[in-house]
């Protein structure tokens, strides 16, 4: 039997569950999605397990069963490469003051390829280089089990779409952006691919934006990710905390997250969260609230907690 595309399989299950009579008070992932089909996105490749946006990180992520994420930019001579930052200051160790001010767009690919983008993370990563996305795509060609999130930083969509079609990867990639208009533009070029809208903000901001997407029937969006922070965090990027009951562990209310999950399932949109913490207990709590997928900087921890959650649910059902 032919195995259906994983993302479409999950969306179909979720949509069916949203309209079917509820057998239990709350929707739970273990009743609808097999463990092996839960999508875990490796942030910038494989999170903290490897140097970001390198072929080594992507290979590790695929080995673990993750969907690695790559950040896309274009070099001065038009080569698409995976690189997150605007400049080389953070990830090129001992870069000259002049180089620290420059970014991918300022150099040719030949120049970018000479930079060591691994040594900053540790000696064991020394010598890692930026490879063109064409090399990554070649590693995916003919391997339908290999998927990739592509977070748009600065790219020409027609050029990227042409490369995706060249390698036959339309159904293996998920284009990610914070801008819904970019997702819709991409869908017009490659309608077969999945898209992810990532959202960052407090409950008031998220509610405002979700209302607009709901009014548009989530056009162009097949997955939606919300950034999750614990109530107490030193992360300077965390949005201001909203009022939240004492028994709610996150800055966003439990009821708000439950309602987002219900809404997304009703529209056939995959509900993903990105917990900005290394606290292992957050995964079970988020799964209890209806989350279907995770992005993570700690994929080993995430996978471990997912397995434990499914095992505990199975044991509870067996004991009934």
**113 located within any domain:** no
**68 located within any domain:** yes
Per-residue pLDDT in tens (0 to 9) along the chain, 320 residues: 333 566 665 666 555 555 544 444 689 999 999 999 999 999 999 999 999 999 999 999 999 999 999 999 999 999 999 999 999 989 888 888 998 899 999 999 999 999 988 776 777 777 678 899 999 999 999 999 999 999 999 899 999 999 999 999 999 999 999 999 999 999 999 999 999 999 999 999 999 999 999 999 999 999 999 999 998 899 999 998 777 788 899 999 999 999 999 999 999 999 999 999 999 999 999 999 999 999 999 999 999 999 999 999 999 888 87
* Pairing assessment for the beta strands 67-74 and 293-296 based on DSSP bridges: unpaired
Please tell me the distance from the alpha carbon of residue 237 to that of residue 276, in angstroms, as a whole number.
10
**119 located within any domain:** no
Contacts 24+ apart (CB under 8 A), 35-38: 35/306, 35/307, 35/310, 36/65, 37/6, 37/9, 37/10, 38/292, 38/293, 38/294, 38/306
Enumerate the β-bridge partners of residue 271.
Answer: 224
Structure tokens at 36: 């092996």
CATH number at residue 20: 3.20.20.190
Please tell me the distance from the alpha carbon of residue 66 to that of residue 110, in angstroms, as a whole number.
30
**136 located within any domain:** yes
- By residue range, what is the domain housing residue 282? 6-86+130-319
**152 located within any domain:** yes
**187 located within any domain:** yes
**95 located within any domain:** no
Please tell me the distance from the alpha carbon of residue 26 to that of residue 51, in angstroms, as a whole number.
39
253, 244 in Cβ contact below 8 A? yes
Counting the structural domains of the chain, the total is: 1
**96 located within any domain:** no
- Nearest CA to 69 out of 305, 293, 310, 301 is that of 293
């Amino acid at each position: 039997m032919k195995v259906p595309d994983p993302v479409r399989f999950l969306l179909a299950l979720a949509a069916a569950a949203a309209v079917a009579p509820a057998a239990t008070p709350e929707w739970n992932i273990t009743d609808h999605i097999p463990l092996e089909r839960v999508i875990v996105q490796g942030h910038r490749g494989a999170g903290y397990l490897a140097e970001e946006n390198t072929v080594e990180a992507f290979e590790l992520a695929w080995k673990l069963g993750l969907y690695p994420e790559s950040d896309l930019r274009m070099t001065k001579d038009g080569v698409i490469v995976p690189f997150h930052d605007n400049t080389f200051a953070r990830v090129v160790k001992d870069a000259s003051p002049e180089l620290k001010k420059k970014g991918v767009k300022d150099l040719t690919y030949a120049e970018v390829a000479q930079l060591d983008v691994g040594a900053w993370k540790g000696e064991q990563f020394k010598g890692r280089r930026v490879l063109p996305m064409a090399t990554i795509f070649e590693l995916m060609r003919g391997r339908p089990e290999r998927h990739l999130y592509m977070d748009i930083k600065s790219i020409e969509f027609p050029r990227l779409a042409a490369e995706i079609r060249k390698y036959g990867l339309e159904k293996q990639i998920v284009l990610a952006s914070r801008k819904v208009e970019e997702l819709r533009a991409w869908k017009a070029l490659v309608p077969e691919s999945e898209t992810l809208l990532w959202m960052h903000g407090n409950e008031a901001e998220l509610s405002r934006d979700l209302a607009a997407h709901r009014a548009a029937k989530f056009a162009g969006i097949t997955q939606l990710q919300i950034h999750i922070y614990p109530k107490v965090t030193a992360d300077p990027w965390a949005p201001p905390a909203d009022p939240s009951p004492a028994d709610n562990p996150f800055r966003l209310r439990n009821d708000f997250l439950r309602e987002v999950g219900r809404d997304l399932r009703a529209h056939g949109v995959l509900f993903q969260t990105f917990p900005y913490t290394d606290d292992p207990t957050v995964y079970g709590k988020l799964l209890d609230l209806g989350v279907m997928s995770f992005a993570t900087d700690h994929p080993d921890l995430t996978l471990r907690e997912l397995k434990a959650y499914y095992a505990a649910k199975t044991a509870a059902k067996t004991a009934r």
